[in-house]
Amino acid sequence: MYAVLGEDDSDVDTLKVLIRRLAMEPNLPIKKKGYGSCGEMLNKGAKHLKLFKEEGCTRLIVCYDSDGQDKQERFNEALEKVIRPAGIPPYITGMSLCGMEACCCIVIPVQEIESWILADIQSVSKVFSGWRPAPIRQNPETIESPKEFLEKLSRQGVRPRYSHAAHNKVVAEHINLGLVRNRCESFGALVDFVLN
């Protein structure tokens, strides 16, 4: 069973959809905990990971946006403040999970998880019939503040039609996972963990 920790509910709901799609199991049990901020996740995450492990979760994921910071520093911060205090071994890419009681993957979306949606921006047309954005040619992980970029791109008149809290998980049902994997290096950690 999986468990996901993230900075907010939108991130964990989006990851829940993506994990189920990658695993090709639409009813895969996934426990989740979203926080009000990254600071809250770093302070309380170890406690929740331990609880999820006690509840039988063996595949745990911590998602921590890089928000323009160095992704290795963010990885180390999640490792030292959440994973190690929980006493759960970190997942190493390519390592077999066989025989392990539980293992935790740290996913660091470059900038924000919305960069994954920008990788296949045309998928929003399956949610918004009147919105047909052109593909984003640049690497989506180089776009600063992808959440705000996506909402600005969706602007219809004064108001954006896209809201990350309402639409990320819905669009995640439609994005081309292979395309996102090819365009966003950070997505690879999640793919490798789920498919291993």
Is the pLDDT assigned to residue 98 strictly greater than 60?
A: no
Ranking 18-22, 97-101, 182-186 by mean pLDDT, the lowest is: 97-101
Strands 103-107 and 155-156: unpaired
Which tokens hold the place of 125? Answer: 């047309």
Per-residue model confidence as pLDDT tens digits over 70-89 = 999 999 999 999 999 999 98
Measured between alpha carbons, how far apart are the two ends of the chain, in Å?
14
The kind and range of the H/E element at 6 are strand 2-6
Please, which residues have CB within 8 angstroms of residue 168's CB and are 6 or more apart in sequence?
10, 11, 13, 14, 113, 114, 117
| Closest alpha carbon to 38 in 75, 18, 8 | 8
What is the full DSSP assignment across 9-21?
A: HHHHHHHHHHHHH
Instruction: Give the confidence band of 9 by pLDDT, cuts at 50, 70, 90.
Output: very high
What is the full DSSP assignment across 99-167?
A: T-S-EEEEE--SS-THHHHHHTGGGGGGT-TT--PPPP-S-GGGSSSHHHHHHHHTEETTEES--HHHH
Model confidence, pTM: 0.93
| Number of continuous H segments (helices) and E segments (strands) in the chain | 9, 6
- Mean of pLDDT over the chain: 93
CA dihedral over 140, 145, 146, 149, signed as positive or negative: negative
As its CATH architecture, domain 2-111+184-195 has 3-Layer(aba) Sandwich (3.40)
CATH 3.40.220 domain residues, the chain: 2-111+184-195
What is the rounded distance in angstroms from the CA atom of residue 52 to the CA atom of residue 67? 26
Per-residue model confidence as pLDDT tens digits over 11-43 = 999 999 999 999 999 999 999 999 999 999 999
